[in-house]
Amino acid sequence: MTKPLKFYDIPANLKDDEGPSHRAWSPNTWRVRYALNIKRIAYQTTWIDFPDIEAEMQKLGVPTTTVLAGKALYTVPTIYDPNTNRAVTDSQKIIEYIEEQYPDKLSLIPPYTRGLQAAFVDTHFQSLSMGAFLLLVPSILSACSARGLEHFRRTREPLFGGTRLEDAELQGESRAVAISKFIDELGVIDRAISTNGGKAMFLTGDILSNADVNLAAVLTWVLRLGGSESDLWRGISAAHGGRWVKYMDAFEPYRSVP
Ligand SMILES: N[C@@H](CCC(=O)N[C@@H](CS)C(=O)NCC(=O)O)C(=O)O
């Protein structure tokens, strides 16, 4: 029998009205969590806070994935598969791994779409998540534990020339411009989805793909951290005929946090 995978994720502080499933907040880990949930691959979450990631990843023997301000970082998502005794880090490598290792499960990378999907992820996931970061700063800080926050500041503030992260949040006119830019980028994706015709909801028509999982992961981050009343989510939900509210509803069945 296949044993459940171990899935490493960073826990968020919970607000009073939030249930345990709100512990999952990172856009990067949601990319893999959605993929595992959609593919119905059994897994168990291991929560790990920012300052503990490096030592645990070194124990697992996985490499760093990211360089921030000249420093190589160990990151999550990471999985450990007890069925193969393999640990894999980096969201897109994990998705490739589970596609190959569990070929009997629904595929998120249908034939001939690999290159196009990778191009979508490299462009839109990256720029949407960068854009959202500067709009979500205060909520990201309050999602961190005290230890996590200290680590987050130490690794992120150098990116802003040492500015305190609270001061990096966009305000006023520059905030309005960044929100419009984010929504305009979603407009490009809205037009791409529309070319599928009919009632197609996803980039790959009626079926879900890795590109859609990546997009849903960013929107989940925006909605969960910013909240449904935030200026950013209000703008998104009013745009493109309500496409993104329906889009998020379509991912609801895949939002469990085991
Ligand atoms: N390219 C990586 C990026 C993962 C990433 O940046 N993860 C963040 C959490 S959202 C992390 O673990 N950061 C560790 C740190 O800041 O020390 C992926 O796709 O998995």
Right CATH for 5-101 from 3.30.200.20, 3.30.70.1450, 3.40.30.10, 3.40.50.970: 3.40.30.10
Name the segment(s) of the chain with CATH classification 1.20.1050.10: 114-254
pLDDT at 17 over 90: no
User: Ligand 1: does its nearest atom lie under 6 Å from the Cβ of 66?
Assistant: yes
pLDDT at 186 over 90: yes
Q: What is the pLDDT of residues 118-172, one digit of tens each?
A: 999 999 999 999 999 999 999 999 999 999 999 999 999 998 888 899 888 889 9
CATH 1.20.1050.10 fits 114-254, yes or no: yes
Structure confidence at residue 97 (pLDDT): 98
Structure confidence at residue 77 (pLDDT): 98
Q: Rg of the Cα trace of the chain?
A: 18
User: Ligand 1: does its nearest atom lie under 6 Å from the Cβ of 77?
Assistant: yes
User: Ligand 1: does its nearest atom lie under 6 Å from the Cβ of 75?
Assistant: yes
Q: How far is the CA of 133 from the centre of ligand 1 (A)?
A: 13
Q: What is the pLDDT of residues 201-243, one digit of tens each?
A: 999 999 999 999 999 999 999 999 999 999 999 999 999 999 9
Q: How far is the CA of 195 from the centre of ligand 1 (A)?
A: 33
User: Ligand 1: does its nearest atom lie under 6 Å from the Cβ of 132?
Assistant: no
Asked if 211 and 120 touch (Cβ cutoff 8 Å), the reply is: yes
Angle at the Cα of 199 from the Cα atoms of 196 and 204, rounded to 5 degrees? 40
CA 110 vs CA 183, 218, 240: distances in Å? 28, 22, 27
Asked if 31 and 101 touch (Cβ cutoff 8 Å), the reply is: no
Name the segment(s) of the chain with CATH classification 3.40.30.10: 5-101
Q: How far is the CA of 110 from the centre of ligand 1 (A)?
A: 26
Structure confidence at residue 27 (pLDDT): 97
Structure confidence at residue 168 (pLDDT): 85
CA atoms within 13 A on the CB side of 257: 17
